[in-house]
């Protein structure tokens, strides 16, 4: 983990940042982790080097994401706790199979698999209705947020663009708040630079925020999105995958896609 000026943070600095982010005092953290406040203070100031068990215990109390737990361990001179394998690795065969089953199960409805930075890893055939008309340069290294909100992407076909943009940006802001790599913050800045504005009249009495999409051939489709993750994954690649399915929000959309 680094700061914006590329200065490498110590494990103590990382711990302090996460503690402040969780709005805990040193005493609060110490009580939750069953350690002394003095030891927490010494770790934060660099007067004590924490053990592997201590880093993981404090990180668990602070609900630090696994990737950042690895960074804290490395900063303390320790080996990472969580492996990160490519999705195509032999050890990931069960994950690959599970992902494919979900994609196949939702077809003909659109379904995409994205990583922690919203890069599209896989998609089913039904996703073509979302990607129709998207500029080739956005498909070279496909990112779900860029494709959805860029003026050369889906944005011109999204009938409730302000509302959908508000929904996606809110999700991204929450993820930025839990990410110290800077990658998501850069993505947020880019997304905010796109035209489109935000909805100020979102109907909070509705069931969910719909995606209202016009197809190139003039059909009007309405979707509700549902996100699936691997809740028990230990590998970082698997833990950070999200499978987002777009389900018909009305009978007309369902019939149109069959």
Domains 11-75 and 90-257 share a fold: no
| Domain residue ranges of the chain, discontinuous segments joined by + | 11-75, 90-257
pLDDT for the residue 125: 95
Q: Round to whole Å and give the CA distance between 65 and 22.
A: 13
Contacts of 149 (CB under 8 A, 6+ apart): 155, 161, 165, 168, 191, 194, 196
Quickly name the fold that domain 90-257 has.
Answer: Beta-Lactamase (3.30.450)
What string of pLDDT tens digits covers the 258 residues of the chain?
444 434 578 999 999 999 998 999 999 999 999 999 999 999 999 999 999 999 999 999 999 988 899 999 999 999 999 998 999 999 999 999 999 999 999 999 999 999 999 999 999 999 999 999 999 999 999 999 999 999 999 999 999 999 999 999 999 998 888 777 788 999 999 999 998 777 765 555 556 789 999 988 888 999 999 999 887 778 899 989 999 999 999 999 999 998
- Just give the CATH number of 11-75: 1.10.260.40
């Amino acid at each position: 983990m680094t700061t914006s000026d590329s200065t490498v943070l110590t494990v103590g600095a990382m711990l302090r940042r996460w503690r402040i982010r969780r709005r805990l005092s040193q005493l609060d953290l110490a009580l939750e982790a069953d350690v002394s406040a003095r030891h927490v203070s010494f770790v934060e100031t660099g007067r004590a080097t924490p053990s592997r068990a201590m880093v993981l215990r404090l990180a668990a109390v602070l609900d630090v994401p696994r990737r950042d737990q690895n960074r804290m361990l490395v900063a303390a001179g320790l080996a990472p706790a969580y492996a990160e394998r490519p999705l195509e690795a032999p050890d990931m065969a069960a994950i690959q199979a599970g992902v494919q089953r979900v994609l196949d199960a939702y077809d003909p409805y659109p379904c995409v698999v994205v990583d922690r930075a919203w890069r599209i890893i896989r998609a089913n055939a039904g996703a073509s209705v979302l990607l129709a008309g998207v500029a080739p340069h956005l498909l070279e290294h496909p990112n779900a947020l860029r494709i959805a909100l860029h003026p050369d992407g889906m944005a011109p076909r999204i009938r409730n663009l302000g509302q959908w943009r508000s929904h996606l940006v809110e999700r991204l802001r929450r993820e930025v708040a839990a990410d110290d790599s800077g990658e998501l913050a850069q993505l947020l800045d880019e997304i905010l630079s796109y035209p489109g504005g935000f909805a100020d009249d979102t109907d909070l009495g509705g069931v969910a925020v719909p995606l209202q999409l016009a197809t190139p051939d003039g059909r009007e489709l309405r979707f509700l999105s549902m996100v699936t993750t691997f809740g028990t994954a230990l590998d970082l690649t698997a833990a950070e995958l999200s499978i987002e399915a777009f389900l018909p929000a009305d009978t007309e959309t369902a019939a149109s896609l069959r």
